[in-house]
Amino acid sequence: MSSEAIVVFTFQSTETIVAMGGTSAWHLAPKNARLCEFAVCTRNAKDDRVEGPEAHHSAFLVGRVRGVVPCPGTPGTNGTSKTRFLIQFSEFARVNAPNAWKNGQQNPICYKSLQELGIDPLILKWEPMPSRTGESKLANAAAPIQQLNPLPLTLAEAKKGLALTFNVPPESIEITIRG
């Protein structure tokens, strides 16, 4: 069994990652990512958008890679033309591996073996991904607006969602309502 893993440095919570079907919005070489059996999510607790309580630099989630697909609606942000990718999981396990992410790494993605991270996949408690909720959310994100039945939401929720979509802090989002 291969223990090669793509390691990502993320602000997203376990709940967000599971709901999306994997870890998302990464600039990466899909060919390289697809060679990995595992993806390891490590905590970026210094990001203003941090959602999870885990310690900074700790690994908190391991996913078994099912696929690597483009994220709908994310061909480039901030003037770039690079596509962002979703690393889909077939199953996941919660872990607590302190200092899995090393200081000084500039790119929020790296490749390591699980052994280097002190993670043994044979002793993890694997959970199946829920009924592909993340994929339906992604499909809805790409669907025409007329087909959606939106639910009411607060301005704070709207800003948070738009911030995730455009990879900017929520305070960078301005919403104007004209009636």
Q: Are 13 and 49 in contact (CB under 8 A)?
A: no
Distance of CA 49 to the CA centre of its chain: 13
Q: Which helix (H) or strand (E) holds 6?
A: strand 4-10
Kindly give the confidence (pLDDT) of every residue in the chain, 179 residues in length, as a single tens digit, with 9 standing for 90 and above. Answer: 457 999 999 999 999 999 999 999 999 999 999 999 999 999 999 999 999 999 999 999 999 999 999 986 655 544 555 789 999 999 999 999 999 998 878 889 999 999 999 999 999 999 999 875 444 444 444 433 333 445 567 788 778 777 777 767 788 888 888 87
Furthest-apart CA pair in the chain: how many Å?
59
CATH match of 4-148 with 3.40.50: no
In whole angstroms, what is the distance from residue 95 CA to residue 117 CA?
Answer: 11
In the chain, what are the domain boundaries?
4-148
